[in-house]
Chains A and B, each alone.
Chain A
Amino acid sequence: MKQSPPKPRNTRNSGKEKVISMKKPPSRAKPKMFPLPKCPTGIQGLDEITGGGLPRGRPTLICGGAGCGKTLLAAEFLVRGTTQFDEPGVFMSFEETEPELRANVASLGFELAALVRRKQILVDHVRIERSEFQETGEYDLEGLFVRLGHAIDTIGAKRVVLDTLEALFASLPNEAILRAELRRLFRWLKEKGVTAVITAERGIGQLTRHGLEEYVSDCVILLDHRVNDQIATRHLRVVKYRGALHGTNEFPFLIGDDGISVLPITSLSLNHKVSNERIATGIPRLDAMLGGKGFFRGSSILLTGTPGTGKTIVSANFAHAAARRGERVLFFSFEESPQQIIRNLHSIGLRLDPLVKRGLLRFHSARPSLYGLEMHLATMFKEIATFKPQVVIVDPITSLMDAGTDSECKAMITRLIDFLKAAQITTLFTSLTQGGHALQQSEASMSSLMDSWLLLQDFEGNGERNRVFYVLKARGMAHSNQIREFLISNHGIDIVDAYIGASGVLTGSARVAQEDLRKAAVLTNQQQAAGLKREVERKRTAIERQISGLRSDYESEAEELRRIAEQVSSSTLMLTTERAASSRLRQADTNVVASTRARATHNGRANS
């Protein structure tokens, strides 16, 4: 066993050093009670649940029923071990041959063949057919040990997978020998210091069909594939992890095109960072309603509404505005295909396709019933992780709720929101309500998770339906308390003040009619005022005319008076001169006096 294997290459040594250096801290920091060394799997989420990975240098049992992903989990453990942690691995398969295995993991994007070629992974297919051999007398499984040992030494493996060891129970008739040998095998693996993963079929009433958990007691992971309401979901649970804290819940996981991802979201805590930045909604009037600046970045926004109230349009506006600012937007649509959304929004003058082309806007459309809630969640996580958006839109979240029970949904949305908030992603959820207030209440549980809540509503009356819109809540900002009417036209969204009067809120044509009434009233008032003004003017001119008549009367009388006065004064003057003359002519005839008086009278008349 020592001389024959070609000595492993340098990588092995470096790998070993790494292991040693990783192992060192615990021994040095003894008073700190450092937990046992872990071997990271590199599988999304699993390391978080297990607090860092599988127990290093010890065997781990992975059990589960048929088709729940045991082999894939084991294979991913090896592949990620080589690619991410530089730890070569041996895959000893008792069921699948190497080409089969290669093909199976290739669908997850793992290039097993290349890794095998580079001697980072060694696949050993152990084929053992019950019909092809006889047993007689005593034996042991030293051959298996030799093979495994040889394989480990050849590539300097740190990780070992035994994929379904239980196949031996079917092949080897002598169970007593087999059990003794398995016990020895696990001890031997520990001595070798390799981190081993052993898969086993789920048994009835016990974890594995042949009670392997009896031998592998350091870490047991149970996989489960459950069908609930016709939708299958895979679950993973760490049943046991000796010497370490671990998540005990059942965690949903999924097998996607880049391997397994487990969703350990409940481990997240509620202390994410918050931003004071505000982002515009794409609807200026709505921004104005939200204290003039829009939503907080990283907040979660709920947009509820009955069918046809324009939820998708509002969310698309939000998406459009964000993408125009150069942010990446991920739009999850569970009702419409991307093309349909693009076409429909084009009809209101919103062009989304250039943004899609520029890679700022990405759609992800899926039918809610396509797979289970957790699968949806996992897919969304993956999309978010790969696209790294600043804004996420889920339209509508209620479609997803049909895929699970209420509590599941709430848990899922909590996870989603936690995840998004931790990443400072602003999220807009639309939610379809069936109308009526009872449903609004049932959504209250969801709303407690939301920072802002906008309500779109239908107002029915006058033989028409109109949309109104208000801000139900907006944490951390002053916001308008008013109902606004929400108009959708060729030019997009328009928010106008709804008419609020004695008869309640008026919308649509009623609002228009009311506006007309108001206009008519104003017009009449104006006309009345003008009439009155004219009347006043007329009166004024009449009075003025009267005044001027009176004045002219007065003036003529005054003239008369003056004339008379003049006459009087001139006649007086004449009298005095006549008297003077007569006194001068006293000596003259009285007839002269008489004729002079007549002449004076004549002169005075001519004078006047």
Chain B
Amino acid sequence: MKIKKVKGKSAKARESQIWQLRLYVMESTLKSEQAFANLKQFCETHLKGCYRIKVIDLLKQPQLAKGDQILAIPTVVRQLPKPVRTVIGTLSDFERVLAGLDLRATT
């Protein structure tokens, strides 16, 4: 269940700056699909080539919900770079996703 999207352009320096994102969903609901599509589009726009998305289906792995303190579905958790940031919802508003993932500060 890992949809990795790695595109190291070239530089090794960026390797440390690869964004690791986790998307928590419930299998194939409309909202989950929307969220995944939105996240992918967002990352392609803002983090092209230096991100990884791990999609976790809580129906299959409910025990993982505790670790990242998941309440809402869908939820995106930025694992790296630290600190952990969380955005909930279908990620329809990119401005808020930018703020939520704190993208501007790190890039």
Q: Which residue of A lies closest to B63 (CB)?
A: A150
> Quick check: A143 and B87 within 8 Å, CB to CB?
no
- Report B-chain residues with C-beta under 8 Å of the C-beta of A496: none
> Quick check: A147 and B65 within 8 Å, CB to CB?
yes
Contacts A126-B71, A134-B96, A138-B31; A143 near B89 (Cβ below 8 A): no
> Quick check: B87 and A136 within 8 Å, CB to CB?
yes
User: Is A142 interfacial (CB 8 A cutoff)?
Assistant: yes
- Report A-chain residues with C-beta under 8 Å of the C-beta of B87: 133-136
> Quick check: A143 and B85 within 8 Å, CB to CB?
no
Q: Which residue of B lies closest to A168 (CB)?
A: B71
Contacts A1-B62, A127-B69, A137-B89; A143 near B99 (Cβ below 8 A): no
> Quick check: B91 and A137 within 8 Å, CB to CB?
yes
Q: Which residue of B lies closest to A174 (CB)?
A: B89
Nearest chain B CB to A150's CB is how many angstroms away? 4
Q: Which residue of A lies closest to B57 (CB)?
A: A146
- Report B-chain residues with C-beta under 8 Å of the C-beta of A127: 69
- Report A-chain residues with C-beta under 8 Å of the C-beta of B85: 132-134
Q: How far, in angstroms, from A132 to B71 measured CA to CA in the complex? A: 13
User: Is A359 interfacial (CB 8 A cutoff)?
Assistant: no
User: Is B36 interfacial (CB 8 A cutoff)?
Assistant: no
Q: How far, in angstroms, from A1 to B64 measured CA to CA in the complex? A: 12
Q: How far, in angstroms, from A144 to B59 measured CA to CA in the complex? A: 12
User: Is A5 interfacial (CB 8 A cutoff)?
Assistant: yes
Q: How far, in angstroms, from A487 to B96 measured CA to CA in the complex? A: 91
> Quick check: A143 and B63 within 8 Å, CB to CB?
no
Nearest chain B CB to A155's CB is how many angstroms away? 13
Bin chain B's interface residue count. Answer: 35 or more
- Report B-chain residues with C-beta under 8 Å of the C-beta of A3: 60
Candidate in B24, B38, B69, B72 with the most chain A CB atoms within 10 angstroms: B72
> Quick check: A143 and B91 within 8 Å, CB to CB?
no
Contacts A126-B71, A134-B96; A149 near B62 (Cβ below 8 A): yes
Total interface residues on A, CB under 8 Å, equals 27
- Report B-chain residues with C-beta under 8 Å of the C-beta of A144: 71-72
Nearest chain A CB to B3's CB is how many angstroms away? 20
- Report A-chain residues with C-beta under 8 Å of the C-beta of B60: 3-4
- Report B-chain residues with C-beta under 8 Å of the C-beta of A143: 24, 58, 65, 70-73, 75
> Quick check: B89 and A135 within 8 Å, CB to CB?
yes
> Quick check: A4 and B72 within 8 Å, CB to CB?
no
Candidate in B58, B61, B63, B71 with the most chain A CB atoms within 10 angstroms: B71
User: Is B20 interfacial (CB 8 A cutoff)?
Assistant: no
Nearest chain B CB to A169's CB is how many angstroms away? 13
> Quick check: B96 and A141 within 8 Å, CB to CB?
no
Contact pick for A142, options B26, B84, B93, CB 8 Å: B26
User: Is A124 interfacial (CB 8 A cutoff)?
Assistant: yes
> Quick check: B100 and A133 within 8 Å, CB to CB?
yes
Nearest chain B CB to A144's CB is how many angstroms away? 5
Nearest chain B CB to A404's CB is how many angstroms away? 46
Write the residues of chain B forming the contact surface with A, with a CB cutoff of 8 angstroms.
24, 26, 31, 34-35, 38, 58-63, 65-66, 69-75, 84-93, 96-97, 99-101
29 A–B pairs (Cβ distance < 8 Å), ordered by A: A1-B59, A4-B60, A4-B63, A124-B66, A127-B69, A132-B84, A132-B86, A134-B86, A135-B88, A135-B96, A136-B87, A136-B100, A137-B90, A137-B92, A139-B31, A139-B72, A139-B89, A140-B72, A142-B72, A142-B73, A143-B24, A143-B58, A143-B70, A143-B71, A144-B72, A146-B58, A147-B62, A147-B70, A150-B65
* Other A-B pairs, 5, CB within 8 Å; known A137-B91, A143-B24, A143-B58: A5-B63, A136-B88, A137-B89, A139-B74, A147-B62
Write the residues of chain A forming the contact surface with B, with a CB cutoff of 8 angstroms.
1, 3-5, 124, 126-128, 132-144, 146-147, 149-150, 168, 172
